[in-house]
Every structure is written in structure tokens, then in C-alpha cells.
Amino acid sequence: MVLLKALLTMMCLTQLALLSGCTNLIFQPNNVRYYTPESFDIKHEEVFMKTRDNLRLHGWWLKSGPAKKANIIYLHGNAQNISSHVANVAWLTKQGYDVFIFDYRGYGYSQGEVDLAGIMHDAMDAIAYGAERSAREDIPVYVMAQSLGASLAVYAVASSEFKEKIKALMIVSAFSDFHNITREVLSNWWLTWALQWPLSFTVNNDFRPLDHVANITPVPLAVLHSREDEIIPYHHATDLFEAATQPKTFIEITGSHNAAFVVENNKNLIIKYLDGLLK
């Protein structure tokens, strides 16, 4: 009976995954409000940005103060929305950096339904918005991204018409291949272990980071990853770094996947790199 239930569960999971293209493995949005910039005593501007297909995306422009060094466009990870991810970047405002953090379609207060091609376009539109705004201010602009956002950022920056305005790209805990990371996630659970190969091919791999990371040049690239990352194995970072061209920097951080912006030494390494770009 136990075996039969397990088999039935596996069959149901297979059908659901095939119908959804494993979307729920990659995108886990919600519209719960966790924190606001006020939670961190940060002044901000509400941003409502139109996409190329006429959806309205929501974001926050976090303000650093009069001695601003540069602007950062931040692409967040796969779960929840900007009200949880804002905790990852709020501290940067105290270091002299404005941060533009936004929600992809279907996340938070942004309109639309989640799909990979759509959120890739959202990433590119947000980079365009941040780059144009920074050009008007005559101030440097960087792109920083984490996890899913970091993997989106590779193609988004490499293909951006504003690439020459971006002074650096930092990818934190990125994965290198949508098929590979899907297989690795599925292999961690015994019910889906046998399905990892067929289900991985239901995921769109058109924007595979490994195929585009070399095209980021001449934008300086920093690859940050922890050997302790329990979600995205370390080899994804080394694969991306090896495929990238100069100028590039590898920065080994510490801690779990969700601790990249929590560990104090990681923050110090990030600021050291960012400040070094201004010299």
C-alpha cells in the first residue's frame, strides 16, 4: 500500500510537472508584504515601470544620500517578492549606493503571469530604466543579481542595448544552465529522482547563462559563490567563470545560499569590489 501511494504520488507529480514545465521549481512568487524600505529606515521612491509588452512592473528606488557613489540595479531570486529581498540590499544604501529593486511580472505588485521569456524581458527593461536614469544623473551604474536573478542577468546584460553604460555586473550564487539546475533540484528528492532527466527538458533553456557569459565583455564581471551553498552547487560558478572573458574576477564568499548578503565578510568583499571600480 505504501509503495502504491508513492507510485501514485510520483505519477501525479509527473503530470503536474509536465503540464507546468517545472515552472514551480524555478518561479515561486507571492504578493505578501514582508518588509518595506521604512523597515530599514531608508528613504525611497515608488517606481512603476512599463514593459515592452505594456505590463506595469513595481519597484523601489532606495536612496543613499547626498554623497552617492553609484546606482545599482538589483535582480532578485526566485521566491516571494521585493519586500523580502530588500533585506539583501538595504545595507548598500549606508555605503553610498542607491539601489533599484523591482519585481518581475507576476511577483508582488507587478502585473502579468510568470514565464521565463517574460521575466527576461522584464530584466532587460529594468536595466534599460536604471541605465537611462543613471545617464541623466551622470553617475555610474552597476548590475547586481542573486540566484535566479544572477542567471537572468548574464543574458540581460550581454544582450542589453545599454551595455556600454553598465560599469560592472556582479552575479551572486548564479546557476549556469536551466536544465542542469532543474536536474540537480529534482535529484535531491527521492520521489522525483528518477524524473530528473525527462522533466528538466520541459524547462526553457534558451537563455542558458553558459552560452552568453562570454558576451558580457567589455563589462567587468564578478562571480561570487560559496562552497557552502546548498541550493546552487559551486561548480556552476566555476563553469561560468571559466567560460567568461576578461575583465573578470572570482570572489569566494561563505555561508549558505541565503546568507550571501548576511555574512559580514561577504558584505565587506562586495563593497571592496564596488568601491574599487570607482578608483
Across the chain, what does the average pLDDT equal?
88
Instruction: Give the count of alpha carbons within 13 A of 59, CB side only.
Output: 28
* pLDDT value of residue 6: 40
- Give the C-alpha separation, 182 to 168, whole Å: 28
* pLDDT value of residue 199: 55
Q: What are phi and psi of 82, to 5 degrees?
A: -65, -25
Number of H helices, E strands in the chain: 11, 10
* pLDDT value of residue 181: 76
Regarding predicted confidence, which is higher, 69 or 201?
69
What percent of the chain shows pLDDT beyond 90?
A: 79
Q: Indicate the pLDDT class of residue 38, thresholds 50, 70 and 90.
A: very high
Q: What is the dihedral of CA 118, 48, 77, 201, to 10 degrees?
A: -10
**Which fold would CATH assign to domain 39-177+210-277?**
Rossmann fold (3.40.50)
Beta strands in the chain (DSSP E): 28-29, 44-50, 56-62, 70-75, 79-80, 97-102, 141-146, 166-172, 221-226, 248-253
* 260 in Cβ contact with 226 (< 8 Å): yes
Q: Indicate the pLDDT class of residue 10, thresholds 50, 70 and 90.
A: very low
Tens of pLDDT along 72-97?
999 999 999 999 999 999 999 999 99
Q: Quick one: CA dihedral 136, 141, 146, 152, positive or negative? A: positive
- Reply yes or no on whether the pLDDT at 191 is more than 70: no
- Give the C-alpha separation, 175 to 181, whole Å: 7
Tens of pLDDT along 172-188?
999 999 887 766 766 55
Tens of pLDDT along 263-278?
999 999 999 999 999 9
- Give the C-alpha separation, 98 to 67, whole Å: 10
Tens of pLDDT along 145-182?
999 999 999 999 999 999 999 999 999 999 999 887 76
* 123-141 mean pLDDT: 98
